[in-house]
Structure 1
C-alpha cells in the first residue's frame, strides 16, 4: 500500500508531505484547489511522461517520492527481486523517486537505483490502479469488457494455456507460410538440381580423379618417347658393350684401389665411387623394370582423353575448376537432399499445424465455457449493485460469443459484450446505446467493487469518478467505495458530501496565494474538521447549523 508521498516544486505545489493509511480516504476541496495534484504526482512515479510544465515556476527541478509498503505484495516483491532492485536492509519497503528538470528532462529511481520509465510502469502495475474521470468510458470497449470478465473469473491458468497454444501455433504457421511461399521457387530449383545431380552421378568423378587423369594422360600421350629414352638410358648405364657407366666406374675403382697403398688420400674417393656403383646399378634395375611395365596402350589413351575432356566440359558447365568438380557434385547433391527434406518438412509442418490448431481450439473452448459461466454470475452481481444505485429496473446481460472464423489470438476467440436495459420493457443493448454518463459511472463503480479481489492491486485511486451522480445514489456509491476500502487502500477525489462522508479518513486540499504565487496544501482532517468540510460541501462557504447537523448525520456522529 502507499504509505507516504512527498512532492516538491511540482506544478503549484511548493512542498507537500502526505501520510496515507488503509481504508478509504476521501480527498475534497474547492474547485481549482488542486485536488488531483497528488494523483498527478503519483502518476509520474508510475511511469507517466513529464515535461517542463511540471516544474513550479522559479524552481530548478521538481521532485516526487512515493513510499510503499510491499510486505504483503508478492508480485511486487518478486519483480523487485528479479530486477535486483529490492532494499537490502528492508525488503518490505519500496521507494520510488522521480526528478524533472526545468528543461523537461527526467530521472527515475527505485530504491536509489536509476531505472527507465518502462521499469516504473512494470512495477507500478503491481502497486497502484488509477481511475480517472473518464475511466468508465473504457467500459464501452469490448476488449475491456472481456478483460473484466476474465478478472472476475480468475481463470489465469486457462488464459495462459490459450496464449501458450496460440504462440506455438503461430510460430509453426509462420514456418509453414515461409515454406509455402517459396514452394514454386523450390520446385524449379529442385527440377534443375535433379537433372544436374543425376548427370554428375552418372559421370561419377571421384575425389582427386582429375589430377590423376592429368598425370596418366601425360604419361600415355608420351609413352613412346618415355620408352625410348628409358631404354637408351639403361643401355648407357648398364648394357653398352663398348661402353657403359657401371663398367667405367668399376674400372676406376679397381685402378684406384691398387694405388691406395701409395697414397691413403685416395681411400675416400674409392668409397664414393663404390657408392656410385651401387646407385647406378640400382637405377639401372629400376629402369629395366620401368621399361618392362610401361605400356603403349592407344585404347587406354583414348579413354583417358575422353574422361579428361568430359571433366573439362562439366567444369565449364558448372563454372568451377576441373579440380573442384567433385566438391561441386557433393554440394549440389547436398542441396538437392535438403530440398527433398524441406518437402517432407512441409508435410510434417502441415500436420503439426493441424495438431496445434486442434490443441488451441480445445483450450479456447475451455476458456469460452469458463467465461460464459462467470459472465452469467458477474451480470447478476452488477445488476444487484446498480439496482441499489437508483437503477431499480436495470437488467444486465453479458454475452460471450465464440467467433468461429476468428484468427487465433492470445485471449481466445470470444467476443464479450455487456448489455443493459435501464427501463421496463426495454430490450438490453450495448452500453454506448443505452446508458447515460451517470449510469455508466454507476455500472463502472459496481464492476470495480465486484472485481476488486481479482485485481490484486493494493491501492486504488478514483479521480472524480462520481461525476454525474447525486442525491441518494451518491450515498450508495460512497458505501460501495467504503466497502472496496475494506479490501484495498482506496483514495477518492470527490465533490460529493455523501461520498466523502463514507471515507475512513479525509484529506482537505486548499490553495493559498499572495498575489504573486500560488501554493497548494493537503491537510489531514480531524473529526471536527471533517464535520465542517462536509457541511461546506452541503451548503457552500457559509456554514449553518442545519448544514453542520446534516454533516454529523452523514458521518454518523
Structure 2
C-alpha cells in the first residue's frame, strides 16, 4: 500500500507531501488544476521516462519519493530479498527518483542506487495504473489476452509454457545452424582428417621439439665438449704441474698460519676451505659428465631427420616448430567436435519433436484453463454491462487454440473479446460494435473485475470514467468503492457520483502570483467535501439544491 508520497519541484508543484490511507481515495479539482500531477510524479518515481521539462522552472532538480507498506505483498518482499534491497524496516519500502535540470536521473530503493530497470520491475509489484485511454488498449489482441490471464492468475502456467517454448526454439535454432554448416563442416572434416593423419604418423609429443633441439646441439658439439671438459678437469685437479686445487691448498696452509697469528683472518680461512670444497665438487660433476658423454652418429642422424621433419611440417601448417604438438592437439579436438556435431544432428529430430510436444502439452493445459476462466469473466462482465446502462449487453470471450501456426511464448491461443449491446445483434468483435462510451464502460468493468484477482495492493484509476455520467457514474462509484474495501484505490475523477463514494477525498488547486504557478493537493474535511461535491455538480455557483444533491451523494 502507498503510505506517503513526497514531491519536490516537479512541474508546477513546488512541494507536496501526501499521507495516504487504505480504501478508496478520490482526487478532484478544477479543470487545468493538475489533478493527475501526483499520479504523474508517482509514475516517475516508479520508473517512467524522465525529461528535463519535469523539473520546475528555475530549479536544479526534481525529487519524488514514495513509502510503501509491504504487509500483504509477499511478491514485493520476495523481490527485495532476492535483489538484496531490503531496508531497515522489513514491512516498508522507500523508493526515490531524482531528475536533474539536464534530464539525467538517479534511482534508489531503500537508499541503495539501482538501475532504472530494477525500479520498473519493483514498481509493477507495488502499483497498477489504469489511465483514461485504457479503453483504446482493449481493442488490441495482446491486451485482451493479458487481461484474461491476469483474471485467471496464470503466472505459473505462463512461466511453464514460456520455458518449454524457449527450449523448443533453442533446439530449432541449433538444428538450423547445424544443417546450414553441414556442407562447410564436411569440407573441413576432409581437410583436417588428412592433416591429423599426417601429424599422427609423425607423433610429435608436447615439449619434444625443444628436447630434440637440445640433444641435437649436444651431439653436434660432442668432440668439442670432450676436449674442453678434459682440459677443465686438468686445470682443476689432474694436471701434473699446477692445478687450481693445489694452489688453493697452498693458500689454505698460509691462511691457517695467518689465522693463528690474528683471529680476524679466520673468516678468510673458512672461505678458502669452502672454495676448495666447491672445486672438488665441480671436478666430480665434470668427471661424471665426461664419463657419461657418448657420441652416437646414428642417434645424431636420427635427430637430424626428426628435427628437419618437424620444421617442414610446422612450415606447412603455418606454426612455429615448438607449437606443432599443440597445433596437432587442436586439430584433433576440432575433428572430434565435427564428429560430435554430426552425431548431434542425427539425433536432433527426435529431440526437437519431444520438445515441441512438451510445449504443446503445457500450452494445451493453459488453453483449457483460459477457456474455463473466459466463461467466468464473460459472465461477470455481462452482469456489469447491465449495471452500467447496457441492459441488453452480452459479453463473450472467444478462445481459439491453433496448434499449427499460432505458437508463441504465450501459448497457442488467439483471444477475441466479443460483444452485443442490442437485442437481435450477434456477438461481434469489440471494435466493430461498441461505441466510445460503451467501450469505456466495458473497459472499466473489465479493469475492476480483473483488479480483484490481482495481487498489486495499490490501484490507480486516472480519469477512467471519461464519457460516463448520470446513474452509470453512480454505479461506477459503487464498483470502485467495493474494490477499495479490499485494495487501496486512488481515483482521479471529475464526476461527483464517483467522488462521493470515496473513503477519503483530496482536492487539487492551482495558484499564481502573476510570475509563478503552483499546484497543491490536500485532504479535505467532511464539510469541505460537501462543498467540493456541490461544485462538481453545479459549477462555481453553489445553490441549496446542489448542496442537497451533494449531501445525498455522501449519504448514499
Distance 2:63 2:320 in 1: 74
Q: In the alignment, which residue of structure 1 is the partner of 2:236?
A: none
Which consecutive residues of structure 2, in runs of 5 or more, have no partner in the other structure?
A: 220-286
TM-score (norm 1): 0.77
Q: CA deviation at 1:412?
A: 1.0
Residue 47 of structure 2 corresponds to residue 51 of structure 1: no
Q: In the alignment, which residue of structure 2 is the partner of 1:455?
A: 454
Q: Is the contact made by 1:16 and 1:522 (CA closer than 8 Å) also made in structure 2?
A: yes
Q: In the alignment, which residue of structure 2 is the partner of 1:488?
A: 487
Q: Secondary structure, in 3 states, of the residue corresponding to 1:126?
A: helix
Comparing 423-432 with 467-476, greater Cα deviation is found at 423-432
Q: Is the contact made by 1:449 and 1:483 (CA closer than 8 Å) also made in structure 2?
A: no
Relative to structure 1, is the Cα distance of residues 374 and 178 closer, same or farther in structure 2, using a 3 angstrom cutoff?
Answer: same
Per-residue displacement from partner, 1:356-410 (whole Å, max 9, x unpaired)?
A: 1111111111111111111111111111111110111112111111233336432
Distance 1:22 1:399 in 2: 37
Relative to structure 1, is the Cα distance of residues 340 and 503 closer, same or farther in structure 2, using a 3 angstrom cutoff?
Answer: same
Distance 1:108 1:324 in 2: 53
Distance 2:150 2:350 in 1: 35
Q: In the alignment, which residue of structure 2 is the partner of 1:74?
A: 74
Per-residue displacement from partner, 1:206-226 (whole Å, max 9, x unpaired)?
A: 8689x99xx99xx9xxxxxxx
Q: CA deviation at 1:518?
A: 2.0
Q: Is the contact made by 2:406 and 2:414 (CA closer than 8 Å) also made in structure 1?
A: no
Q: In the alignment, which residue of structure 2 is the partner of 1:244?
A: none
Residue 124 of structure 2 corresponds to residue 125 of structure 1: yes
TM-score (norm 2): 0.77
Q: Is the contact made by 1:9 and 1:61 (CA closer than 8 Å) also made in structure 2?
A: yes
Residue 359 of structure 2 corresponds to residue 363 of structure 1: no
Q: CA deviation at 1:125?
A: 0.8
Relative to structure 1, is the Cα distance of residues 130 and 200 closer, same or farther in structure 2, using a 3 angstrom cutoff?
Answer: closer
Relative to structure 1, is the Cα distance of residues 319 and 512 closer, same or farther in structure 2, using a 3 angstrom cutoff?
Answer: closer
Q: In the alignment, which residue of structure 2 is the partner of 1:275?
A: none
Per-residue displacement from partner, 1:400-447 (whole Å, max 9, x unpaired)?
A: 112333364321121111111121222222222221222111111111
Q: CA deviation at 1:521?
A: 1.8
Per-residue displacement from partner, 1:146-176 (whole Å, max 9, x unpaired)?
A: 1111111113221111111112222222222
Q: In the alignment, which residue of structure 2 is the partner of 1:255?
A: none
Q: Secondary structure, in 3 states, of the residue corresponding to 1:555?
A: helix
Q: Secondary structure, in 3 states, of the residue corresponding to 1:523?
A: strand
Distance 2:174 2:135 in 1: 42
Q: CA deviation at 1:185?
A: 0.4
Greater Rg, structure 1 or structure 2?
A: 1
Residue 527 of structure 2 corresponds to residue 510 of structure 1: no
Q: CA deviation at 1:321?
A: 8.5
Which consecutive residues of structure 1, in runs of 5 or more, have no partner in the other structure?
A: 220-278, 296-300
1:140-539 matches, cutoff 5 A: 140-194=139-193, 332-406=331-405, 408-539=407-538
Distance 2:38 2:415 in 1: 35
Distance 2:26 2:43 in 1: 18
Q: CA deviation at 1:549?
A: 1.1
Q: In the alignment, which residue of structure 1 is the partner of 2:225?
A: none
Distance 2:69 2:347 in 1: 54
Comparing 397-406 with 321-330, greater Cα deviation is found at 321-330
Q: CA deviation at 1:28?
A: 0.9
